[in-house]
Structure 1
Amino acid sequence: MKTNLTLTLNKEVIEQAKKYAANKGESLSEMVENYFKYIIHSKAEYEEGQLTPRVKKLRAVLKVDSDFNYKDVLNEAKSTKHGL
């Protein structure tokens, strides 16, 4: 079922969004609906404590040895910083 939604946005933002949607072959309504679907589903998929795709992607950036213990490194950094 489709229904109307009224949004109040800056005129320049609306014009730029319309151009963007047209370049993607979508209407502005389709683009907004797809964005809402994206944020609803992406947030619902991850329960508290689970890693989001963004965090998982960041984890892959750092390569460490298999015996790396981040707690030891953290404690050492705290000791250095606070002079303990």
Structure 2
Amino acid sequence: MTTKLTLTMEDTVIDSAKKYARDNGKSLSDIVENYLKSIAIQDDTISEISPKVTRLMGILKVPDDFDYKKELGDALAEKYK
């Protein structure tokens, strides 16, 4: 079920958020919903993660099609060739 939510914030924040959403091909509602989901999940699991790791969350950005297994395999092959 979807429910309408009204938020109050500065005009400049709204304008920037709308531009970000448009540039990324998403709706502002989707971005806000996904952000709220992510912080709710973090609250549930945050006690299991060390504070140092928590501070690093979200810093590393990789492409959507990034294949870490392939990259790891390539790196290990290069190291032990």
TM interval, shorter chain, is 0.5 to 0.7
Select the structure of larger CA radius of gyration.
Answer: 1
Between the two structures, name the one with larger relative contact order (CA 8 Å, sep ≥ 6).
Answer: 2
Q: Cα deviations across residues 30-67 of structure 1 (Å, max 9, x unaligned)?
A: 000010001000111123x7414335x5xxxxxxxxxx
In structure 2, the gaps of 5 or more residues are 57-81
In structure 1, the gaps of 5 or more residues are 58-84
| 1:51 paired residue number | 50
State, as a whole percentage, how many aligned pairs show the same letter.
42
In structure 1, what is the Cα distance between the partners aligned to 2:49 and 2:10?
36
Alignment of 1:26-41 (within 5 A): 26-41=26-41
Aligned residues: 55
Alignment of 1:5-84 (within 5 A): 5-47=5-47, 50-52=49-51, 53-55=53-55, 57=56
Q: Cα deviations across residues 5-49 of structure 1 (Å, max 9, x unaligned)?
A: 0000111110110000111111000000010001000111123x7
In structure 1, what is the Cα distance between the partners aligned to 2:23 and 2:14?
14
Q: What stretches of structure 1 move > 6 A for 4+ residues in a row?
A: none
